[in-house]
Amino acid sequence: MPLKDILVHLDATPRCAAQLEVAAGLAVRHGAHLTGLFVIDVPPPDMFYGFPSAFIDLQRAEDIVAGLREAALADAQRVEAAFRDRLRRDGLQGEWRQVEGRTGETVALQGRYADIVVFGQAEPRAAVAGRVAELPASALMTCGRPLLLVPYAGEFPVVGQNVLVGWNASAEAARALNDALPILQCARKVTVLSINPRRGIGGDGDVPAADIALHLARHGITAEAAHTVATDIAEGDALLSYAADIGADLLVTGMYGRSRLREMVFGGVTRSLLTEMTIPVLMAH
């Protein structure tokens, strides 16, 4: 079943164009309806009440918020014009949504009415040192839809022609693969990779990734089953390295196979991919 409803989160950052490029490319390939979402995320005046300055009173706080909102509305107008121009150039059906609220919560809510949500990776300098960018993570955890993250650097004119699927026989990996089926069915090449596979019924089987490749074959998808042992680097780095080796333009993987708290404290594949991705990553939870 092809993708028919794609939501792309757009903002005023320079990377907005890359997110739109990826989303529009998918929409063209699948004949999908494309929705552009811009969130007016302005803090309430009471956020400034405890500001350590005698010059920040109620009136001043309201003036600051009004200025921020005015700037955000101006940004939205500029981004909307670029979005509508892209719809015209690609001959796409679509719509523009401009919503006021908290970005993560709004994207999660609006995303439930789409097949997939395209979102941008947070720039490292915009995140707190040593922590995962929380915005895409929080949106994905509550959205109920797959999230296609576009890296903060690089150009991605084609996404979904050469796909690498990270497979560890977990529920999260199964969900991500199932959500990616419409993209995999249109791909020229699909590789299913198991890293440090566990043998037996509770792991990846006696022939790692072979069983899931057989499942994909029943969906008309020819997939190569591969496995590797990575003892000297993290599994997330191993996935990205393998993707680079085969020239993959999309990585599909589950999210937070361990508890989210443990991932945040000890790291993990999800944390590594959220901060170090070099190609677009489709994640699902």
Tell me the pLDDT tens digit for each residue of 57-87: 666 777 788 888 899 999 999 999 999 999 9
> pLDDT confidence of 134, banded at 50, 70, 90?
low
Give the pLDDT confidence score for residue 141 in this predicted structure.
Answer: 75
Q: What's the Cα-to-Cα distance from 248 to each of 64, 173, 245, rounded to whole Å?
A: 46, 18, 8
> Is residue 136 pLDDT above 90, yes or no?
no
Spans of all domains in the chain: 5-150, 162-284
Question: Model pTM?
Answer: 0.86
Name the least confident of 23-37, 182-196, 259-273.
Answer: 259-273
Closest of 170, 196, 198, 152 to residue 284, by C-alpha: 170
Give the pLDDT confidence score for residue 128 in this predicted structure.
Answer: 43
Give the pLDDT confidence score for residue 7 in this predicted structure.
Answer: 98
| CATH top class, domain 162-284 | alpha beta
Q: What's the Cα-to-Cα distance from 268 to each of 43, 250, 276, rounded to whole Å?
A: 32, 20, 12
Sign of the C-alpha dihedral computed for residues 24, 133, 285 and 153 taken in this order: positive
Note whether 146 and 179 are within 8 A (CB).
yes
State the Cα–Cα distance between residues 269 and 258, nearest whole angstrom.
10
Give the pLDDT confidence score for residue 235 in this predicted structure.
Answer: 78
Residue 107: exposure state from Cβ atoms within 10 A (0-12, 13-18, ≥19): buried
Which carries the bigger pLDDT value, residue 171 or residue 47?
171
> pLDDT confidence of 285, banded at 50, 70, 90?
confident
Please tell me the CATH code under which domain 5-150 is placed: 3.40.50.620
For residues 248-269, average pLDDT: 65
Give the pLDDT confidence score for residue 150 in this predicted structure.
Answer: 95
CB atoms within 10 A of CB 82: 13
Give the pLDDT confidence score for residue 35 in this predicted structure.
Answer: 98
pLDDT digits (tens, 9 = 90+) for 186-230: 999 999 998 876 655 455 555 668 889 999 999 999 999 998 876
Instruction: Choose the most confident range, by mean pLDDT, from 45-54, 137-146, 228-237, 273-282.
Output: 273-282
Closest of 35, 265, 18 to residue 149, by C-alpha: 18
> pLDDT confidence of 138, banded at 50, 70, 90?
low
Q: Do domains 5-150 and 162-284 have the same CATH topology?
A: yes
Give the pLDDT confidence score for residue 23 in this predicted structure.
Answer: 98
pLDDT digits (tens, 9 = 90+) for 39-65: 998 877 666 655 544 455 666 777 788
Residue 259 main-chain phi, psi, to 5 deg? -65, 145
For residues 91-109, average pLDDT: 94
For residues 227-251, average pLDDT: 86
> Is residue 184 pLDDT above 60, yes or no?
yes
Instruction: Choose the most confident range, by mean pLDDT, from 31-40, 97-106, 136-145.
Output: 31-40
Instruction: Tell me the residue type at 79.
Output: V
